[in-house]
Structure 1
Amino acid sequence: MVQQCLQGDTHSYGQLYRRHQQRVRSILYQLCEPSSLDDLVQEVFLRAWKGLPKFRQTAKFSTWLYRIAWNLATDQRQASVQRRNQLQSLTEKSSTQQQALDLMDLHYQDLVQRGLANLSFDHRTILVLHDLEEVPQKEVAEILDIPLGTVKSRLFHARAGMRQFLQQQGVQL
């Protein structure tokens, strides 16, 4: 199908989109703000379409596509941190700021989402890709361009962090 896409066959690209869009959506949902999810999914596939001529035929298309999704999530996270830092510098650090953070916490009604939010971005990424999306560790290492040992270490620490959060919330494991 990739070869057909390279020859300009948009129907084949539509098939690739239908095959992979749910996994891309799921990965982005776990890593980014849900409010911009549709736009982010479209951006991943737009970047993939534009970058298809550079795709190495020796790699799996899904691995390459999930790497694009991860890169986009990383870009979004950095932009979000910059916006938050700018906002914090414009507002007073007072009890109203703490109340705003408390209201944001109420927004996350799903316990798993709240647990993921407490993890570092690296740990959350590993947990989402491996445990939630069931991407094999070796492929996670390829997507994130890190050694397999680092994947295993981060996965161990991410699970420990999630376990600790759930226990603090009163969940019996």
Structure 2
Amino acid sequence: MNDVNSSAKSAADSSLSPAFSALFEEHFAYVCRSLRRLGVHEVDVKDVSQELFMTVMLRFGEYDSSRSARAWLFSFAVRFASNYRRLARHRLERLDVPDPMPSNPTDLLEARDLVLRGLARLEFDRRVVLIMHDIDGFPAPEIAAELGIPLNTVYSRLRLARADFRGAVGVRDP
């Protein structure tokens, strides 16, 4: 296990149910990726993820195991990222801290950065639907249920988000 979540993991192991510990272990990295995609700055991802899992721990008894754990956690990520963005205007501007990447980034890292920049330019509600559908692979009906919006709204946001994303990264419509 890496240093990113080792202290939180040890705290989870000492006082929590095996089910929550398993959920944390299996989905911590996914939650971090989701928060990045939703606009949380790299330097804040660890802190926001740990706050998110503290809330998940308190609400773990409400989890319906017939639902997707990833979708449930993503709904928390959406709320936490939304709060992060809302409160960001009240924070002092941070200097850009580059991701800890190799000095010669590979094509994969360049593509990742392009995707993150493209996602950052999307309207938040559209970004959420695009990430859930095109990146995380959730079906539209599950997205609608998880976000509490009509199915046609999911399809509309997805269509608009794809068009906006293509424009943001400089790709022409097919």
What is the TM-score of this pair, normalised by structure 2? Answer: 0.71
Q: Which residue of 2 aligns with 1:39?
A: 47
- Among residues 136, 139, 148, which one is paired with 2:151 in the alignment? 148
Give, as a single letter, the amino acid of the residue that structure 1 aligns with 2:72: W
Map 1:19-168 → 2, pairs under 5 A: 19-31=26-38, 32-56=40-64, 59-83=67-91, 110-167=113-170
Aligned residues: 147
The answer to whether the Cα contact below 8 Å between 2:166 and 2:173 also exists between their aligned partners in 1 is: no
Identity of aligned residues (%): 31
- The structure 1 segments of at least 4 consecutive aligned residues displaced by more than 4 Å after TM superposition are 106-109
Q: Structure 1 residue 120: deviation in Å?
A: 0.9
Q: Which of 1 and 2 has greater Rg? A: 1
- For residue 45 of structure 1, report the CA deviation from its aligned partner: 1.4
Greater helix content: 1
How far 1:9 sits from its partner (Å)?
A: 5.2
Q: What is the TM-score normalised by the length of structure 1?
A: 0.71
Task: Tell me the CA shift for residue 53 of structure 1.
Answer: 2.5
Q: For 1:82-113, what per-residue CA distance to the aligned partner results, in whole angstroms no more than 9, with x for missing partners?
A: 447xx7xxxxxxxxxxxx9xx96x96972112
For structure 1, which runs of at least 5 residues remain unmatched after alignment? 1-7, 88-99
SS in 2 for 1:119: coil
CA distance in 2: counterparts of 1:118 and 1:9, whole angstroms: 39
- Code of the residue aligned with 2:168 in structure 1: it is F
Preserved contact between residue 163 and residue 173 of structure 2 (Cα < 8 Å): no
